[in-house]
């Protein structure tokens, strides 16, 4: 299960890193005057963003090994590449949000205009008097023009008498009906065109607000803070998106890989504790084996062969056995004091001391609990044996050597 979670964490961090690197590449590409310059700037920007994700590994490793100059250089590099990446992320996020909001605003305004135009056109069409189809009216007008009265009145320009007045009145009525029919046809075509434009937005939500998210957050924020504007919320959202990408891409990989290290560190102390437990037992067997067995009624003593140790001791384990004793949980030793006593022990035993980072790793493998208090690393539950005990042990060893000689 932990491998699945770790893999998912690495994949998620990789996606954030890829998105951030792509944004940096686009930002760097836009800086070039030519396409080649853009490719150079884009590649440099993407590489800097990827290096940003690697710097935490180098930084904390340098701190663990007390390599202060490398840690300082890593911090400076991380600040520079992160600041550069943050500016490109801010620009990209702001451009996309403003472009999307502007596009939505144009769509909303266009939709409203089309709806208003459709309503106005339909109202105009409803005002047109009743009429027959234009072709029918035109055919009847043509029939009127073929009558003799049309020629007599000069096309209804010279009216005299009741007959000609009725004739021309009929002609003008037909002409007005024809105009209404043509206007209705024109308005009908216009209505069809508007409906076709509106049909293009079918299935697509046309929002009344250009940035609904910012509007809702501005209204909610207004409950706590007065004078909160939509523009302020949009700026905050832009910064938040940029920070999400930068923090996720910068520390995502480090956090994901640290998940496996946590389980590895939990498994190592249990194994080291078993080793530490076995060392005193094996030592006790050797001490007992060195004592000669005395047989009753026999002046000879038969030495017993010393068994071979199954678990070889290294210098750190020997130092732990000779100079460290268990204590209550309240007792603790600083890493520096422990290392100083280790160096003293190496000098007394004519051994080459290990470097502090390696000594810390090997001593930590013995299962000793390590905590960090007030900026200092301390090992809890242990204490140094008293100095008098060391002196007595050395005197006893010297006396045994003289007797043996």
Nearest CA to 356 out of 382, 375, 374, 338 is that of 338
Hey, what long-range contacts does 144-147 have (CB within 8 A, 24 or more apart)?
Answer: 144/170, 144/171, 144/174, 145/171
Nearest CA to 195 out of 123, 114, 133, 252 is that of 114
Token pair recorded at residue 162: 């009741």
How high is the pLDDT of residue 291?
46
Mean pLDDT of all residues in the chain?
76
Cα distance between residue 152 and residue 178, in whole Å: 23
Nearest CA to 210 out of 114, 113, 111, 108 is that of 108
Residue holding tokens 């909610």? 220
380 DSSP assignment: E
How high is the pLDDT of residue 164?
86
Q: Specify the 3-state DSSP secondary structure of 229.
A: coil
Token pair recorded at residue 254: 């480090």
Cα distance between residue 18 and residue 12, in whole Å: 10
How high is the pLDDT of residue 386?
62
How high is the pLDDT of residue 262?
52
Cα distance between residue 403 and residue 236, in whole Å: 84
Q: Are 346 and 315 in contact (CB under 8 A)?
A: yes
How high is the pLDDT of residue 264?
52
* 232-274 residue pLDDT tens: 777 787 787 777 777 777 777 777 676 656 545 555 454 444 4
Residues in the chain, pLDDT under 50? 263, 268, 270-302, 304, 306-310, 387-405
Domains and CATH numbers, the chain: 2-109+230-262 (no CATH), 128-199 (no CATH), 313-405 (1.10.10.10)
User: What global pTM score does this model have?
Assistant: 0.39
Residue holding tokens 């991380």? 78
Nearest CA to 25 out of 101, 89, 112 is that of 89
383 DSSP β-pair partners: 325
How high is the pLDDT of residue 87?
79
Q: Are 29 and 41 in contact (CB under 8 A)?
A: yes
How high is the pLDDT of residue 191?
92
Cα distance between residue 158 and residue 167, in whole Å: 12
């Amino acid at each position: 299960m932990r491998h699945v979670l770790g893999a998912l964490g690495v994949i998620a961090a990789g996606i954030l890193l890829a998105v951030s690197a792509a944004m940096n590449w686009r930002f760097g590409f836009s800086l070039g005057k030519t396409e080649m310059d853009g490719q150079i700037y884009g590649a440099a920007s993407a590489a800097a963003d990827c290096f940003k994700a690697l710097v935490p590994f180098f930084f904390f490793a340098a701190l663990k090994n007390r390599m202060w100059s490398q840690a300082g250089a890593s911090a400076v590099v991380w600040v520079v590449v992160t600041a550069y990446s943050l500016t490109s992320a801010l620009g990209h996020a702001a451009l996309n949000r403003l472009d999307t909001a502007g596009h939505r605003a144009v769509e909303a305004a266009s939709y409203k205009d089309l709806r208003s135009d459709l309503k106005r056109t339909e109202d105009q069409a409803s005002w047109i008097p009743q009429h027959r189809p234009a072709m029918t009216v035109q055919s009847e007008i043509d029939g009127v023009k073929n009558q003799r009265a049309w020629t007599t009145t000069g096309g209804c320009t010279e009216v005299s008498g009741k007959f000609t007045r009725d004739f021309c009145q009929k002609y003008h009525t037909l002409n007005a009906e024809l105009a209404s029919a043509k206007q209705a046809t024109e308005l009908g075509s216009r209505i069809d065109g508007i409906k076709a434009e509106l049909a293009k937005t079918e299935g697509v939500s046309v929002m009344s607000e250009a940035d609904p998210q910012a509007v809702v957050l501005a209204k909610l924020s207004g409950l706590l803070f007065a004078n909160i504007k939509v523009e302020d919320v949009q700026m905050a959202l832009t910064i938040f998106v940029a920070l999400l990408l930068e923090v996720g891409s910068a520390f995502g990989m480090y956090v994901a890989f640290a998940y496996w290290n946590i389980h590895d560190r939990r498994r190592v102390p249990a194994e080291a504790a078993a080793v530490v437990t076995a060392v005193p037992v094996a030592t006790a067997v050797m001490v007992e084996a060195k004592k000669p067995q005395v047989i009753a009624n026999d002046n000879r003593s038969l030495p017993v062969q010393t068994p071979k140790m199954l678990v070889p001791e290294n210098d750190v384990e020997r130092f732990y056995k000779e100079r460290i004793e268990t204590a209550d949980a309240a007792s603790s030793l600083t890493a520096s004091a422990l290392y100083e006593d280790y160096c003293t022990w190496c000098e007394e035993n004519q051994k080459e001391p290990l470097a502090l980072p390696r000594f810390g790793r090997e001593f930590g493998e013995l299962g000793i609990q390590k905590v960090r208090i007030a900026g200092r690393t301390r090992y809890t539950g242990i204490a140094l044996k008293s100095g008098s005990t060391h002196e007595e042990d050395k005197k006893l060893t010297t006396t045994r050597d003289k007797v043996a000689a």
